[in-house]
Each structure stands twice: as C-alpha cells, then as structure tokens.
Structure 1
Amino acid sequence: MNDDGLGKRIRTAMGDESARSIARRADISDSTLRSILAGSRPTVDNLAALARALDVSLDWLATGADAGLAHGVRVPVYAGMDALADDAPPVDALVLPEDLTHAHLRCRDGAIVAAKVGDDAMTPGLAEGDLALVDRACGRIAHDGLYVMTFEGTALLRRIQRSGAALIVEADNPAFRAWTIEAARVAEVRVVGRVTGAVRRI
C-alpha cells in the first residue's frame, strides 16, 4: 500500500463532513481516524471501512490509482434546511465535477453542501425534493440573493433583499407572502449559507 497522499485523499472525500461523523459511520474510533490522517498506516479492515463510509473505491483510497474523486468534489447531503442549520450528520453524499464547483458555483472545496428542499415555497425554481447547493463559506448577506437562514428558531430557504438596514424575505411561489425583518431584529438572523445552484429531480 502506498501511504503517500492517503490523508489528503481521505480529507478530499470527507468534504465538509466532520472526522467524528466519518469515524462513527466507519465504526472506528475518532482517535484511530485522527491517527490515520496524521500519517499512521491503517489496517486493511479500517481502510475498507473508511472506503465504505466515504463512498469511494478501496483502490483509489489506498493508492490513488483509479478515478475515485480525483476530478470531483464530494458534497455531503443533508435531510433538509433544519438538519443543515443544526449541523446534523449528512444522510448521503454526491460527487460534483471539480470544474463545476470552482468555475460555475464559485465555491472552494469543503464549503459546498447540499440540502433537500422540503416545501414548494421556491417553485418553480426549486421544487420539493430538489437539492439546493449551499455555500457555507458565505456567512453573511453581502448582497441580494437566495440564502438558507434561521430566524426565530426556524430554518428557511428564501430570497433576501436589503431595504436600508432591514431585510425583505421573499419566496418565488406567489402563494407565500413576502415579509420584512426590521433593522432592530436583523442581528437575530443567522446566515447558514448562500444557495449557488441546485440538483433537480427528473
């Protein structure tokens, strides 16, 4: 087994998911995974368990010999906006082409995640069951756009527009009325991330 680059391949496959979450899914201890990431040689059983947990081929993880994720970015998938906002463990993962995340979505590796849309507030752009691609590196409303945010204990996927020091919160579906967060309460908004794209159901 060629250990050169093993830690880097594991981190690439982990994406934005925590080491603790990966270790739990692989049924190995946190300390074992940290040791492997630091350069220790894993057992074959642990390496196979990590490959299954990371949804990559054992050959690629061990040697880097096949395609694996070499030209793709692993994106953790969350069950919904609440799960994303609460930093719950991802329920799945998908692999996006590297050039898509860098050139078109303009996201750095590890920042992009996906979350399942749970209602029809953003139709026709995003339907229930679609996956919203969220850039978690964007933690503030720098300009008008589509964001995942929490307010009054609720996670929302909405378009946010600035109106002076206040925020206008809008859905694309006209059945949902727009509403305003007054300037005095803007500090209560927590921006989870900016939506940069979507994976739609066929």
Structure 2
Amino acid sequence: MSDDHARLLRERGERLRQAAQSIGITHAAKAAGVPYTTLRDYMNGSEMKLSAVASLARACGVSLDWLAFGVGVGLDADGESSAPVRGGHQVVIPWLSPQPDEGLRVGKSWLEAALPRDPATLRLINVSGDAMAPTLREGDLVIVDTGARTVQGGAIFALRVEGDILLRR
C-alpha cells in the first residue's frame, strides 16, 4: 500500500471516528448494521466497503462525500452535523460505569431545553440505596454532568469515593 493511500485511509477513519462519536460509537455501529469491531477497524484506517460507508454516513447524519472524501456536508467545529437537522434528531447519554446497553437516547431539542449542558459531559447512573429519599429513590435514573466541578448550595452532586458513586445534596 502506498503512503498516500494509507494516509487517505487514516483520514477517512478519523472522519468516521468524529461522525460516530457525535452520536455514540455503539449506536453508530448498530444503526448502520456494522459490527462494532468492524467499525473500530474502519476508524483505525482499514479499507471500508462502500455499502458500510454509505450506511455509516446515513446513520451519523453526514454526507457520503464528506465521510469518504472529506468534501461536502460533514461535522462543524463543535462536532455537530452541519446537515439540516430533521425531526427526531437524538443524543445518546452513556452510562458513567460500563453497562451492557449503550445508554439513554433522548431528543436533542428536549435535552437542550431541559438540561442546557454539553451533552458530551453527561452520564447516567441508577440510584442505589435510600440516602437521598424521598428526592431520589432506589432504581431512579439520574443524569450527571461530569463537567461540573464547583459546589453550589442546594444542588445534588455525584461524588466518587473509594470507587463508589455517592449522590448527596
């Protein structure tokens, strides 16, 4: 393989990584019908099947030309698709700790209205125990902003203490 060809494959893989990360890599693989391991290989610069490139572009909301060749509609500087947003555009909020599923899929417009934060810093956890009852109950699902680093009165915080996550006011 020539150096130019290898460079083009690496660049295509990086565009794919950016596009897949914008919706969640696991979700991108599932939505495009591409095995996760194959997607990982593509992102690392392996040759891609045209059918896979087309499916991945569609799933990630970028143009086939941008994904394959770096021209056309792709992602803007904030990692958002510069394609027109169609109804139903969703964001996946991943789990704070590894879980068997990818996370919670929510409407992007709902998330922006309900929780105006950077979606990339949001994570999910399930409440365990009754320390925060009745505000939070066993099994409740909580969205944590991992980017928040300051303590403010009245807020609920997730603290990592000796490997455990504690939710406290």
SS in 2 for 1:35: coil
TM-score normalised per structure 2: 0.55
Q: Where in structure 2 are the equivalents of 1:50-199 lying within 5 Å?
A: 59-61=58-60, 71-76=89-94, 78=95, 84=96, 87-88=97-98, 91-138=101-148, 140-144=149-153, 145-159=155-169
Conservation of the 8 A alpha-carbon contact between 2:92 and 2:102: no
Instruction: State percent identity of aligned pairs.
Output: 23
Displacement of 1:116 = 1.3
Paired amino acid for 2:103? A
Aligned equivalents of 2:150 and 2:167: distance in 1?
A: 13
Which residue is equivalent to 1:188? none
Conservation of the 8 A alpha-carbon contact between 1:6 and 1:62: no
Which residue is equivalent to 1:14? 24
Name structure 2 gaps, 5 residues minimum. 1-11, 27-34, 64-82
Conservation of the 8 A alpha-carbon contact between 1:150 and 1:156: yes
Displacement of 1:47 = 7.6
TM-score normalised per structure 1: 0.47
Conservation of the 8 A alpha-carbon contact between 1:148 and 1:156: yes
The structure with more helix, counted as a fraction of residues: 2
The count of residues paired between Structure 1 and Structure 2 equals 129
| Structure 1 residues 134 and 152: alpha-carbon distance in aligned structure 2, compared to 1, 3 A threshold | same
Aligned equivalents of 1:126 and 1:29: distance in 2?
A: 38
Aligned equivalents of 1:13 and 1:69: distance in 2?
A: 15
Displacement of 1:32 = 2.6
Paired amino acid for 2:152? H
Structure with the bigger RCO (C-alpha within 8 Å, sep 6+) is 1
Paired amino acid for 2:45? S
Paired amino acid for 2:151? A
Conservation of the 8 A alpha-carbon contact between 2:16 and 2:43: no
Paired amino acid for 2:130? D
Conservation of the 8 A alpha-carbon contact between 2:88 and 2:107: no
Conservation of the 8 A alpha-carbon contact between 1:71 and 1:98: yes
Conservation of the 8 A alpha-carbon contact between 2:93 and 2:119: no
| Structure 1 residues 34 and 26: alpha-carbon distance in aligned structure 2, compared to 1, 3 A threshold | same
SS in 2 for 1:110: helix
